[in-house]
Amino acid sequence: MAEKKKNSAGKMVRQVVFWGIILLIVGGVFSVLKPEAPLEKMAVSEVVSKANNGEIKQIEITENNLKVTLKDEEKPSFQSVKENGSIYEQGLKTDAPVEVSVSEESGFGAILGDVLIMGLPTLALIIFFIFMMKSAGNANNSAMNFGKAKARIYGPDKKKITFDEVAGNESAKQDLWEVVDFLKAPAKYEKLGAKIPRGVLLEGAPGTGKTLMARAVAGEAEVPFFSISGSEFVEMFAGVGASRVRDLFAKAKKNAPAIIFIDEVDAVAKKRSQRGGGAHDENEQTLNQILVEMDGFENETGVIVMAATNRRDMLDPALLRPGRFDRHIQVTLPERRERLDILKVHFKNKPVDASVDLDKMAAKTAGSSGADLANIANESAIIAARLGHEKIGNQDVVEAFEKVAIGPERKSKVMNEKERESTAYHEAGHAIVGHVLPNSDPVHKITIIPRGRTGGVTWFLPPEDRNYTSIHEFKDILARGMAGRSAEKLVYGEGGITTGAGSDLKHATELARDMIMEQGMGENLQNQVFPNSDDDGFWAGASKPYSEKTAEEIDKEVAKLLKDATKRADEILAANREDLEKLKDALIEKETLDENDVAEVLKTAKLPEVAKQKA
């Protein structure tokens, strides 16, 4: 960075000096070429007469020219052409009160003056054109560099990342260790005729550490790491993306063994389609060049291509076939033990007091990615510093977790008493229905303090990690989601429902539609799935890949799920009206209740028989 600033400053100084010289030359030329004021003509006889009468102060003779300065003037104002003979021979008295000076201009001086007058402008133009050509050359170089790859290179001089700094995903790390081993000792594999994968695709949810793992491979193997985003290949100019691909692979070959890492590869490697034109053609040219490069370079070069995506379904099949991305590695969301390891990594260099329970925090953060956990650690330090703590305490960590998960508290937002009461009933409705349903996650916290974009929050946390969700669990989630509006309707009637349930209804509708269209959980459409659109976001044909009658049936199934969920919520709240009032009063008094407070208030809450799900 310092070297770059030094070069930039030097370039600026050179430009200032250059333009300074140009200005000086131009100024000199204008001073030389500046025309003198024209002198009036005067006959030699008149000059002699005036000189003899004392009206002339000086006569300057240069060859045949006379320049006359009058008595009261400082500069010549008249000129004459000398006739044959000297001026004295033409009648000037020797004792006349005038100063006569004679200057003989040499031929060399005259020639030199002419050369300067003619040469200085020419020299200035030559220097100017040299500068313009140099600038054009730089612009041409910039244009040539337009097609060069913009990859960031992490070599041995950069900070090295190893697998010790990447917690969790042990199975993924084990697969990647084989890549490391090949880069370190390729002869061991070649001796047995083994072909090492040319490409490794890391796929997983955002924030799971795909890029970090790729850098760890380079760090462990101690090889150059060329990192570039898929979007950096894409340009509006035809052929630029393909040119950058060629340049990137050429650089990697020169530095082999090396790793090329393409982040968000789906930006440039989407499935090719029959629809062409514009950016589509340019993307396909770039993808074709990637396919050629991956299939063209030999294993002996020691170049391995790694790529990351969270949308494998969007990638072109030609990219995923053997010989290109041979190995697909799942980088999954961390489990509880892995979350604890990740939290330990991120809290390792932070001052933490004895009250912090990272194991408990790992249990609460089911479904969180490594990036989420890193954010929690960072927010904990920020909160502790803001409050003036010398060490990070457990309350700082809990507050950071809640801020990351459900948004910061907005205590500055003022609600009137009617809104506070309505919000309390709404959140109490969610809590009661979720508390009594057997397949619902337990209540973790309720608050009527606005957080993030919501006016209040009822927060459910799973007691353990889950890989699958049953239809009964989905239906219980739908019922507790509809319970906020059900509580408003129970207390205030149909005319008292508010816009506070808008987000709940949106999420419930999305979940119901997913159950029918993606999970095959409908009654009349069992075990059938119906894609919303093709991978490019548009229907491949002129119409949906299912009939209008099927679309109507899907709508009916979704509406039935939501209607049944609302009916269950209504029945549960009607059977627990007294508990609804008690929980509402506790929320208005304390504003925030934790899981123990909720369990104490709802210890008599029950699930009515009519609201139970049938097997």
Neighbours of 224 (CB within 10 A): 21
Residue 405 · residue 373 · CB < 8 Å: no
Question: What is residue 83's predicted lDDT score, i.e. its pLDDT?
Answer: 65
Dihedral sign from CA coordinates of 490, 491, 492, 498 = negative
Q: Is residue 390 part of a domain?
A: yes
Residue 460 · residue 480 · CB < 8 Å: yes
Residue (of 304, 150, 130) closest to 220 by Cα position? 304
Please state the three-class secondary structure of 260-326 as a single string: EEEECHHHCCECCCCCCCCHHHHHHHHHHHHHHHHHHCCHHHCEEEEEEECCHHHECHHHHCCCCEE
Q: Are 219 and 277 contained in the same domain?
A: yes
Residue 150 has pLDDT above 60, yes or no: no
Residue type, 354: A
Question: Rounded to whole angstroms, how far apart are CA atoms 347 and 377?
Answer: 6
Q: Is residue 321 part of a domain?
A: yes
Tell me, what CATH number does 95's domain have?
3.30.720.210
Q: Which of 121-130, 259-268, 282-291, 582-591 has the highest mean pLDDT?
A: 582-591
Residue 75 has pLDDT above 70, yes or no: yes
Kind plus residue range of the DSSP H or E element containing 487: helix 471-492
Q: Are 159 and 66 contained in the same domain?
A: no
Read off the DSSP letter of residue 447: E
CA 481, 484, 487, 493: dihedral to nearest 10 degrees?
Answer: -110
Structure tokens at 190: 């070649």
Residue 17 has pLDDT above 80, yes or no: no
Question: Rounded to whole angstroms, how far apart are CA atoms 110 and 124?
Answer: 22
* Least confident span in 321-325, 342-346, 394-398, 572-576: 321-325
Q: Is residue 29 part of a domain?
A: no
Q: Are 463 and 561 contained in the same domain?
A: yes
Q: Are 372 and 447 contained in the same domain?
A: no
Residues acting as catalytic residues? 427
Q: Domain of residue 439: give its range.
A: 417-611
Domain count, the chain: 4
Question: Rounded to whole angstroms, how far apart are CA atoms 113 and 105?
Answer: 11
Coil, strand or helix at 444: strand
Residue 117 · residue 32 · CB < 8 Å: yes
Q: Is residue 28 part of a domain?
A: no
Residue 541 has pLDDT above 60, yes or no: no
Structure tokens at 43: 């006959």
Q: Are 466 and 485 contained in the same domain?
A: yes
Coil, strand or helix at 70: strand
Q: Is residue 20 part of a domain?
A: no
Question: Rounded to whole angstroms, how far apart are CA atoms 122 and 421?
Answer: 88
Residue with tokens 């033990």: 337
Question: Rounded to whole angstroms, how far apart are CA atoms 572 and 486?
Answer: 10
Question: Rounded to whole angstroms, how far apart are CA atoms 558 and 515?
Answer: 8
Question: What is residue 542's predicted lDDT score, i.e. its pLDDT?
Answer: 47
Residue 318 has pLDDT above 70, yes or no: yes
Question: Rounded to whole angstroms, how far apart are CA atoms 482 and 559?
Answer: 13
Q: Is residue 77 part of a domain?
A: yes
Tell me, what CATH number does 385's domain have?
1.10.8.60
What angle separates helix 279-296 from helix 240-254, to the nearest 10 degrees?
Answer: 20
Question: Rounded to whole angstroms, how far apart are CA atoms 381 and 351?
Answer: 9
Q: Are 76 and 192 contained in the same domain?
A: no
Percent of residues, the chain, with pLDDT higher than 70: 74
Question: Is this prediction's pTM over 0.75?
Answer: no
Question: What is residue 138's predicted lDDT score, i.e. its pLDDT?
Answer: 47
Residues 6+ apart with CB under 8 A from 163: 173, 176, 177, 216, 220
